[in-house]
Amino acid sequence: MSNEPDRPRAEQPRYEPEIIPPGGRARGRGSFESVFIRVEEGEDGIRRVTLKRPGPFTVALIVLAVGVVVALVFVVLSALVLVWIPIVVAGILFALFSGSLRNAWQRVQDWWRGGR
């Protein structure tokens, strides 16, 4: 006698996946030809997943949509750069001339007080 408890048997799959050959089955009711992935649940309770390759028109539309998104991102980034260039230039000019402006402001305040 061994000391191991009785192991339960490995459970067998309850159903096997259905492999449908290309063009082997007629289209079901309410099918959409433009959808890449479709999940149907039949009357028997089994789910069927249908995968379809996109056509050339769909690929062209996807490439066009990606191009439009990239173009919009480029426009937004270039607008941000065009807005920040004058701000950076103004900051540099302010840093360069702040010492001389402070000195000139000090002279104006002295003149108002009646100094020099």
Interval 9-24: pLDDT, tens: 777 767 777 777 666 5
Q: In this structure, is residue 1 part of a structural domain?
A: no
| DSSP state, residue 83 | H
> How many domains are there within the chain?
1
Residue 89 identity: V
Single-letter residue type at 68: V
Is 49 inside a domain boundary? no
CA dist 105 and 110 (Å) reads: 9
Mean pLDDT of 46-71: 88
Decide if 74 is inside a domain: yes
Range(s) of the domain holding residue 91: 55-111
* Stated length of the chain: 116
In a domain? residue 78: yes
pTM of the model: 0.42
pLDDT recorded at residue 72: 97
Range list of H helices, 1-116: 56-112
Please, what's the b/e burial string for 29-62 (b: 16 or more CB within 10 A of its CB; e: otherwise)? eeeeeeeeeeeeeeeeeeeeeeeeeeeeeeeeee
Q: Is residue 73 part of a domain?
A: yes
